[in-house]
Structure 1
Amino acid sequence: MSTPQACNAYLRPLRDAMDVLGGKWKIPIIMLLSIKERRFKEIQREIGVTAKVLSAELKDLESHELVRRTVYDTVPISVEYALTDYGRTLERVIGEIREWGVHHRERILERAEPLPAAAHQH
């Protein structure tokens, strides 16, 4: 990576991935849907996100072909969301990120100094 262009070309795929997966909610949505299909309200309840934000995140994930939306002709209409086969390709990647997070948390907690005894008194 001797030139800015080479560096940019190297980083572009990483930026693309972060654009698709970035934010607070996309990875939790993907992990939840990796377990089983879910209805909108189930996803909302299980990850604790507002309907407006969840709707936007699901639309974005659907536009990237990671999530499939299925509408059932029931009364009232029901909609289920599931990972696509392409979306399932992220399970291993996200699992690896999670494992890194586990080890990172352990490392940080090991480094943390215990609170002085006076801090525990009320």
Structure 2
Amino acid sequence: MTKRSFVCGLDAAISVMGGKWKGLILFSLGEEGPLRFGELRRAVPGISERILILQLREMEASGLVDRKVYHQVPPKVEYSLTDFGSSLNTALAPLGQWGEEHMERIEALP
């Protein structure tokens, strides 16, 4: 296995949560707590089922999300943030606040 080397902390953080959807998934799980797949899909508007599955697998592999399977009929699976995922969510909060403050300007960009 090749060890990754990063230029800075931001580079490392983006490698874990890069892409459009992971931040929204983190935000939804942080706001609403553990969610089942269907609930999470409704909480992240515009995401396809396939992409949500792929993103959750990547996030679980990187330790951001925990997947808990309840052995019952019908089957039940819940996703929640790990401590690692919660800490990233906390770090992203100021960026989200910045986006809220500048949303009109950003929407007006060509």
Judge same fold: TM > 0.5, yes or no: yes
Give TM-score, length-normalised by structure 2. 0.81
The secondary structure found in structure 1 opposite 2:20 is coil
Task: Give the whole-Å Cα distance in 1 for the aligned partners of 2:10 and 2:43.
Answer: 29
| Higher fraction of helix | 1
2:30 to 29, 34, 38: 34
TM score, norm. by length of structure 1 = 0.73
For CA contacts below 8 A with separation 6 or more, give which structure has more relative contact order.
2
Q: 1:37 to 1:10 in 2, by over 3 A?
A: closer
- The separation in 2 between residues aligned to 1:81 and 1:38, in whole angstroms, is 5
Aligned match for 1:45, one of 33, 42, 45: 42
Cα distance in 2 between the residues matched to 1:17 and 1:23: 12
RMSD of aligned residue pairs (Cα, Å)? 2.0
Please tell me whether the aligned partners of residues 16 and 62 of structure 2 are also in contact (alpha carbons under 8 angstroms): yes
- Structure 2, unaligned runs of 5 or more: none
- Residues 1:61 and 2:55 aligned together: no
Q: C-alpha separation between the residues in 2 aligned to 1:92 and 1:98?
A: 10
- Runs of 4+ aligned residues of structure 1 deviating over 3 Å after TM superposition are none
Unmatched 5+ residue regions in structure 1? 1-8, 113-122
SS of the residue corresponding to residue 89 of structure 1 reads helix
Q: How far 1:10 sits from its partner (Å)?
A: 6.9
Q: Which moved more, 1:45-54 or 1:81-90?
A: 45-54
Report the alpha carbon displacement of residue 12 of structure 1 after superposing the two structures with TM: 4.2
| Deviation of 1:70 (Å) | 0.1
